[in-house]
Amino acid sequence: MDNFIVSARKYRPETFASVVGQAPITGTLKNAIRKNHLGHAYLFCGPRGVGKTTCARIFAKTINCTNPGPDSEPCNACESCLSFNESRAFNIHELDAASNNSVEDIRNLTEQVRIPPQIGRYSIYIIDEVHMLSSSAFNAFLKTLEEPPAHAVFILATTEKHKIIPTILSRCQIFDFNRIRVRDIVKYLEYISGEEGVKYEADAFNIIALKADGAMRDALSIYDQMVSFSDKTIRYQDVIENLNILDYEYYFRLTETCLNGQAGEALMIFDEILSKGFDARNCLSGFSAHLRDLLVCQDPVTLQLLEVGAGISEKYKAQSQVVNQGWLYAALDVLGSADVSFKSSRNQRLHVELALLKLCCLQDDSKKKALTLKAEPEAGDDKSTPPSTGESRAGTETGGSSPTALPETSDGARETDDDQPAATPVSKKAIPVSRIRKEGPGTLPSIKDALNGVHKRKGQEEGGSAPREVPVLSDPFSQEDLLKHWSAYTDSIREGKPRMYNSLKHHLPTLGDALQIEVVLSNSAQLEEFIRDIKPELVSYLGKALQNNQFKLLPVISEEEELKNTLYTPEEKYDHMLKKNPDLGKLKERFNLDFE
């Protein structure tokens, strides 16, 4: 019976062309060999299992090859290549810095470097996990690394570059290895399966590649495990069961139930997931990843970011067509917030269930918001025409086409009373100016405030110029109506003016007597910005939305902020405190106290 060799060793690349997913690095090394621009120190760094040590061995083998190919690949026929393949090469030395990390070990290495190679041009020293060297060992290694003999080449490999001291980094050519892409891992697994005669499902290899997290060695280890488990046939269902991975189907079902608002069904699916032994946190993060994949499926430009098998990708494309993009954004926000606060939650199951219930309500909330926005007046609509007020107006001018004017008394003066003859035509466009004058500022705002935000219309009267009547909206409204339209306006400025959005969202207005609307702001900077950028637009919006432009919007600063801005000196602060408590003056006189 032959000894079994794991795939990570059996199919370890022996040429630059067979290295997976590191084309920029292998291309640079091949060019350096072809042009004879070899450095004396290299640093290969990157995640585990991406080919650092493999590339170091191939590079060491190639630079000592006596007959390299035109593409800078080793010939595998000369004595140097044969000795390397048979693990008897004396000019290539591999050291493990994890177990040889002392100053004494580096001193022995320095003595060994002086000896020239017996075969080939170079003595290559591959030091793996070099970040494990102690600080003293690094310092002892500096001189040799900077000025080695002409025949010596050092190749350092590490997964933690940040632990290497800068003086070492500055003496090396640094190559950063990338994580291997999912599609590259899948192709290599398919190649190995063809060599080994193993049947497989493409979606199964995709799961293995995702589980490996960019490390080819991890993917090959999982592959060997699955071959042993499934007896030369690797199926998708066997992979997710053996690796304890939650099936995509659960996420498709959860998305469908949340879109339909089926809260009970969503909770039952989550209970089924927990009963199979899966962690609630993994379910939360997996569902977020599922919604992210649905989002990238909706745009052909981002479709390439979807890293799933061909069969599952079709399901993603189908479901992405029925999911609203706005719902996906809101759902990702809910799940992201739940994931952040998951660890601090005492009842973690309830925490995830609440997140699922919020997702089930998102569809209803979006419909309600759409109906609300549809019912509210558009920004460009002119709804300034009030209902009929029943007020009597004067007769028309000569010709019948001129605007109405206030009636005149027998002595030629304009009448200022509301009582008009019954035969006088009724105007549905305006309230008489005389009424505003008569009721006075205690009941209604001034004429200037009453006309704020309403278009003024001018015309000529017979016998001289007179102000034309201007529409005045006077529908009654309550505090609830005010808050409703206030919230709608603040939502409309959320993107363009985020600072004022936050301020107005937390500082709600109050409706007082004589239609005075008061809003309390935190500081003078907010007040200045409100008056400059917000007030004119807000007054116009509320006038149209409430069908009443006789209110007065009064922004003020909070009392605490006023005191903060007013009381500067100790004397001013003392006077303010003395007004609140007169006994403080007696205390000061009795003990002869001072401000300092």
Find the helix packing angle between 280-297 and 325-340, rounded to 10°: 150
DSSP calls for 401-447: -SPP---B-TTSPBP-SS---TTSPBPSS---HHHHHHH-TTTS--H
pTM over 0.85: no
- Please give the structure tokens belonging to residue 382: 């002119």
Helix, coil or strand: residue 525: helix
Query: d(Cα 132, Cα 102) in Å, to the nearest integer?
Result: 10
Domain limits, CATH 3.30.300, in the chain: 479-557
Domain 182-242 fold is: Helicase, Ruva Protein; domain 3 (1.10.8)
Residue 478 near residue 510 (C-beta atoms within 8 A): no
Residue 383 near residue 543 (C-beta atoms within 8 A): no
Residue 388 near residue 319 (C-beta atoms within 8 A): no
Query: d(Cα 99, Cα 87) in Å, to the nearest integer?
Result: 21
Domain 479-557, architecture per CATH: 2-Layer Sandwich (3.30)
Of the candidates 242, 251, 348, the residue with the CA atom closest to the CA atom of residue 290: 251
Query: d(Cα 357, Cα 276) in Å, to the nearest integer?
Result: 21
Of the candidates 199, 204, 214, the residue with the CA atom closest to the CA atom of residue 247: 204
Give the pLDDT of the chain (596 residues) as one tens digit per residue: 467 888 888 888 888 888 998 899 999 999 999 888 888 999 999 999 899 999 999 999 899 888 888 888 888 888 888 888 888 888 888 888 888 888 998 889 888 888 888 777 889 999 999 999 988 999 889 888 888 888 999 999 999 999 999 999 999 999 999 999 988 999 999 999 998 888 888 888 888 988 888 899 999 999 998 988 887 888 888 888 888 888 888 999 999 999 988 999 999 999 999 998 888 888 999 999 999 999 988 888 888 888 777 778 888 888 888 888 889 999 999 999 999 999 888 898 999 999 999 999 887 665 555 545 545 554 444 444 444 444 433 333 334 433 334 444 434 444 444 444 444 343 333 333 333 333 443 333 443 443 344 334 334 444 444 445 546 777 888 888 888 888 888 888 888 888 888 888 888 898 888 788 888 887 777 888 888 888 888 888 888 888 888 888 888 887 655 555 555 577 777 777 888 788 888 887 887 777 65
- Phi, psi dihedrals of residue 428, rounded to the nearest 5°: -105, 10
Domain limits, CATH 1.10.8.60, in the chain: 182-242
Query: Could you identify the residue written with the tokens 């709804």?
Result: 383
What is the predicted pLDDT for the residue at 245?
Answer: 84
Residue 385 near residue 281 (C-beta atoms within 8 A): no
Handedness of CA 57, 63, 64, 69 (dihedral sign): positive
Output b/e per residue, 358-385; b: 16+ Cβ within 10 A.
bbbebbeeeeeeeeeeeebeeeeeeebe
- Please give the structure tokens belonging to residue 543: 């006038």
Domain limits, CATH 1.20.272.10, in the chain: 248-375
CA distances for 144 relative to 85, 110, 128, 155, 519, angstroms: 29, 7, 17, 13, 74
Helix, coil or strand: residue 453: coil
What is the predicted pLDDT for the residue at 414?
Answer: 42
Domain 248-375 fold is: Zinc Finger, Delta Prime; domain 3 (1.20.272)
Domain 7-176 fold is: Rossmann fold (3.40.50)
For the chain, percent helix, then strand, then coil, each to nearest 5? 50, 10, 40
Residue 19 near residue 148 (C-beta atoms within 8 A): no
Helix (H) or strand (E) holding 552: strand 552-557
Of the candidates 210, 222, 218, 188, the residue with the CA atom closest to the CA atom of residue 309: 210
Domain limits, CATH 3.40.50.300, in the chain: 7-176
What is the predicted pLDDT for the residue at 566?
Answer: 56
Query: d(Cα 415, Cα 588) in Å, to the nearest integer?
Result: 66
Nearby residues of 9 by Cβ (< 8 Å), 6 or more positions away: none
Residue 308 near residue 248 (C-beta atoms within 8 A): yes
Query: Could you identify the residue written with the tokens 């499926």?
Result: 297
Helix, coil or strand: residue 60: helix
Nearby residues of 390 by Cβ (< 8 Å), 6 or more positions away: 426
